[in-house]
Structure 1
Amino acid sequence: MKDWPLLIEASQLADSLHEPKLLILDTSSADNYAKHHVPGAVHIAPAELQCGIKPAVGKMPAPDQLQLLFSRVGLTADKHVIVYDDEGGGWAGRLIWTLDVIGHRNYSYLNGGLQAWLSGGHPSEDVANLPPPSEIDITIDSTPIAEIEDFINLLGNSQLGIWDARSPEEYRGEKVLAQRGGHIPGAVNLDWLELIDNGNDMRLKNLSALQARLDHIGLSADKTIITHCQTHHRSGLSYLLMKILGYPHIKGYHGSWGEWGNREDTPIELGSTPRASDQQP
């Protein structure tokens, strides 16, 4: 089987669609999957990647639920997973984070997802793929998981970076989606949408430019970076980007603002900071 890079283009996948060890997972909306998807792709509804329990609805499902999910889609240890979605990489990144959590690290992200695939004139299908369930034992690896207890006492540490991937309005506390608005003290805001080139089939922007931007706002690869949003959906893309850029120490805070902003014992800042997302390198 070929050696797949983490970031692949539609043309690369089109040339290898029928490799037997590929498992293509589509995290698009149900409507888009029913209308058109990459041939052979198996659908995972985005809601299956989150527990759905308020207030922190974005926390990962219980291990037995993950076991059922990945058995249903036919995951086995020898499969190389191709992940994509229809929105520029948020849900795809959340799935890649989940694969990291269960210790399956053979995967690639289809740059631009469904939009890039269709824009490239590649074939699609509208019939659901239902593979035979696999026998897979899920073991949780806590390394990619950030919990409040892991970092609340490290706020302000120069070796810790917190990437808030929400909108600037949420970050400043002007748009409130929890009991309290604002941001984690010391967190740096870079909206996930700023990573996507909307004029280029929703593919990622130039990677060198994105790295320069991250360095400029203090989210460099020499730090441990924790990324979050409201439900660890949008921050799926920030997690994925750091994987692509080769960051060695990254974590996803799956409780995200749905947890932090709904607790009374968590510190909060309002307004912008000197390293807010509207600053360009």
Structure 2
Amino acid sequence: MASDLPLLVSPQQLLPHLGDDGLLIVDLGKPVVYQQAHVPGAIHLDFKRLQRNTLPAPGLLPEDDGLAALLSDIGLTPDTHVVAYDDEGGGWAGRLLWLLDAVGHTRYSYLDGGIHAWLADGLPTEDTPATARPSDYQLGEKNPRTDVPFEEMLARYNADNVVIWDARSREEFDGVRAFAQKAGHMPGAVHYEWTEPMDKTRNLRLRDLDTLRDELAARGITPDKEIITHCQTHHRSSFSWLVGKILGFDNIRGYAGSWSEWGNHPDTPVEKDLK
């Protein structure tokens, strides 16, 4: 049964579940890649629908009507088990799973390595688009332990029991590159770039989980803290959030406003690590 799938599912684990009742496989890769080859039965979802796309913080969750329309269009029901993947190592797949978690839907998995790993394993693909069966998804109460609103971020970013996981590039973190009015990072934030967990020698599958856990611990990202991930628009850092969930970090959240909000706000403190 689809509901038996773990949070991190390998291509070989997913293969025998293709066609299961209640399974919804969502491809968030580039349309041209989807058209060439996708997991059998996978529907394609435009990742732009996962964000609000309005300035100054385009990464915020869509408004409720947009959320309900999105989830209805893909055919989500409370019993649906979603498996998400993409062609970039997990950024947009992670963003969909973070969005599902934010609306209280916790039946989901990430296909380790996405389409690259699926193809590398020589598994069957389709090139004909799959059609979703729309539902009438009704939004309930959102999960307050998934998203961090700006006011809370500003009040708690430097709390002793909070660690800020900055998933942007080193240049963005140091203030060498900026995509906002302010350059740099939140005071006390820890840098661990979103691509570091990916094994480029194994088709972007996750690296050894114990190794990742040790690397994060060495930087102060540990499960005894409340961990908050962010990047520029909470695209890259959604994957960081997902990695944390896979590692068993239950107290992990995402700051959807991210640097596009923080770096453009007049009242936010910023540090730079310029050498």
Q: Matches of 1:117 and 1:138 in 2, distance apart?
A: 33
In the alignment, structure 1 residue 259 sits paired with structure 2 residue 261: yes
Note the 1:174-253 alignment, pairs <5 A: 174-253=176-255
Greater shift in the superposed pair: 129-138 or 90-99? 129-138
SS class of match (2:246): helix
Contact 2:153 2:255 (8 Å CA) reproduced: no
Residue equivalent to 1:172:
174
Distance 1:45 1:142 in 2: 26
Q: Which residue identity is paired with 1:72? A: D
In the alignment, what sits opposite 1:30? 31
Amino acid in the other structure paired with 1:108 = S
Q: Which runs of 4+ in 1 moved over 6 A?
A: none
Secondary structure of the 2:95 match is: helix
2:103 is aligned with 1:102: yes
- Give me the whole-angstrom Cα distance separating, in 1, the residues matched to 2:157 and 2:54: 27
Report matched runs for 1:142-161 at 5 Å.
142-161=144-163
- TM-score, normalization by structure 1: 0.94
Q: Quote the Cα distance in structure 2 between the aligned partners of 1:168 and 1:132.
A: 42
Tell me how far 1:132 sits from its aligned partner. 2.3
**Cα distance in 2, alignment partners of residues 218 and 237 from structure 1:** 19
Task: Show CA shifts across 1:89-148 (max 9, x none).
Answer: 111111110000111101111000010011111111111112221121012223201122
* 2:84 partner SS: strand
Question: What TM-score, normalized to structure 2?
Answer: 0.96
Partner of 1:105, secondary structure, is coil
Post-superposition offset of 1:55:
1.9
**CA distance in structure 1 between the aligned counterparts of 2:274 and 2:176, rounded to whole angstroms:** 11
Secondary structure class of the residue paired with 1:194: coil
Distance change >3 Å, CA 272–CA 242, structure 1 → 2:
farther
Equivalent residue for 1:115?
116
Q: Name the SS for the 1:15 alignment partner.
A: helix
Q: Does residue 1:80 correspond to 2:104, yes or no?
A: no
Aligned residues: 273
Tell me how far apart the structure 2 counterparts of residues 34 and 156 of structure 1 sit (CA, whole Å): 46
Query: In 2, distance between residues paired with 1:39 and 1:100?
Result: 25
Deviations 1:173-229 (A, max 9, x none): 000111111001111001111111111010011100000011110010011011000
| Aligned AA (1:180) | K
Name stretches of at least 5 consecutive residues in structure 2 with no aligned partner.
none
Report the Cα distance in structure 2 between the residues aligned to 1:155 and 1:50, rounded to whole angstroms: 23
The letter for the 2-side match of 1:10 is P
Indicate whether 1:138 and 2:139 are aligned: yes
State the 1:153 CA deviation.
Answer: 2.2
